[in-house]
A and B are shown apart, each in its own frame.
Chain A
């Protein structure tokens, strides 16, 4: 942890060397997700509800997924630039340092500019809380926290898989973005609106629904099943196969010529 902070400080120092770039990127990140918010807003200006979810509910759902994604992105997105780390040989350097590879990859790229997105998510969150009629009892708050941490872990797992694939292809695979950036986009609506089969896929294969759909139902009072509240914990287990896959990848690391 201490090392992570050290890394963070050195990266902050480097990024501050390019101040204008830093603030513009943060602003850009902010605006990008803001347009998504406007999209939802305008749609609800025409319709009152989507598959039985009101505007306030969708907003809450969106802000939760956005916040967990932004958190994961801010701290774990080192993996997103992983194809670059492999092809420029930086991974060789990581391998000769006596620390866990994953920790090093994570801390080598901390994106402070993504704080813009996090800020946005928080803003929307505050707005959604204000609009929604959820009564914030202890278990509701716990559900919310579980949703956020569950989301963080599932997204982190996806980033790890994305990076692990690079060991075999030496290049990033764009299709993985369906589950990361894509999930953020289509995750603004509860997954049930996409139909039964999509929901099943997102429950059993890539457990996005475990921290979004089911606990969300509980959160807004559409379900009384307290089991739903703890489903995000199950979703967190998703990182285990992801890490195993990563290990398997490291064994197959080929390095690039020098």
Chain B
């Protein structure tokens, strides 16, 4: 169980204008700005949940993850994870969590992956039986058996990420934090990692908190999403709820012969080319079939597709709605 209450965190950042003379000036007199990285953040996550934590760059996602994993100490507020405060009881706390930073490696660069795993076993004091069981399971699920003897520096990004994830699960953590786990990966690796995360969540009942910019990750994995912007939690709900709220809008894409000269109330043309148009229909004003008959009265339709809002668009519209 993860409980955050009124967490605040401010960073002090030096600010100066570009240029050498400004740099010299800054040596003697510094101007600081205070950045409110987190502003009164509160939420609760239950055991076994899988939560997507989204927001634009600099919104405070990483800071929250760092506070929850005991790296940062917040200025004020309460955070209780499995009954402990991470920054006060760091060592006991981190024994029960696994953290993957997509941009940073935890493997030792120059030695085979297997050696890194051995060292991790030692660091977490995992007993032999658990270690072997976990290792076998992870090797199989992530398909890393063949690359265990290769030094980390010679792995491709996709291979390395699979090893990173395995490395953070060797001590059977109850909570797994994933900070942009699919960043920079190709489609095949992304899918492999997503299905793995799903399996782990379902079978081991591991709580998963995932930050990402990849909306497909969110769509494939999480039911619940938390949206953060400018250090504030803006939204906490399920993906389907959100979609329902935004699903009154459909997009018709039409290939046709002739010319569309008028559309009725509740329809708007978002794109118009010679012989192809995209028309947005507000279904609470006019139904899709009515809209279609209006179009087919004017032109001969040769091809047609109807799409609802994608998650990608949903998030963009959310960002716009909250002005972040």
Contact = CB atoms under 8 A, between A and B. Distances in A.
Given A96-B69, A255-B71, A13 B110 contact: yes
Which of B62, B71, B91, B94 neighbours the largest number of chain A CB atoms within 10 Å of its CB? B71
B62 A257 contact: yes
A95 B71 contact: yes
A258 B177 CA distance: 15
A88 B103 CA distance: 11
Contacts of B66: 92, 255
B136 to A, nearest CB: 22
Given A10-B108, A97-B94, A3 B122 contact: yes
A253 B72 contact: yes
A95 to B, nearest CB: 4
A197 interface: no
Contacts of A88: 104
10 contacts: A6-B118, A88-B104, A89-B103, A96-B97, A97-B123, A98-B123, A100-B91, A251-B73, A253-B71, A255-B72
A13 B58 CA distance: 39
Interface string B66-78: 1001111100000
Contact of B99 (A14, A17, A96, A251): A96
A99 B119 CA distance: 13
Interface of A: 2-3, 6-7, 10, 13-14, 17, 88-90, 92-93, 95-100, 251-255, 257-258
B285 interface: no
B92 interface: yes
A96 B101 CA distance: 11
Contacts of B118: 6
A154 to B, nearest CB: 28
A96 B87 CA distance: 10
Nearest to B153: A17
Contacts of B87: 251
A100 B91 CA distance: 8
Given A3-B122, A3-B123, A10-B119, A96 B104 contact: no
Nearest to A3: B122
B13 to A, nearest CB: 10
Contacts of B122: 2-3, 6
B63 to A, nearest CB: 8
Ranked nearest first, the 5 interchain pairs of A and B with the lowest CB-CB distance are A14-B110, A98-B95, A95-B71, A96-B99, A98-B91
Given A253-B71, A254-B11, A258-B104, 12 more contacts: A6-B118, A14-B109, A90-B104, A92-B66, A95-B90, A98-B92, A99-B123, A253-B72, A254-B72, A257-B58, A258-B62, A258-B103
B71 A99 contact: no
Nearest to B122: A6
A92 B115 contact: no
Contacts of B95: 98
Contacts of A3: 122-123
A252 B178 CA distance: 24
A14 B110 CA distance: 5
A89 B72 contact: no
Contact of B104 (A10, A14, A93): A93
Nearest to B103: A258
Contacts of B103: 89, 258
A219 B207 CA distance: 63
Contacts of A97: 94, 123-124
Which of A93, A97, A98 neighbours the largest number of chain B CB atoms within 10 Å of its CB? A98
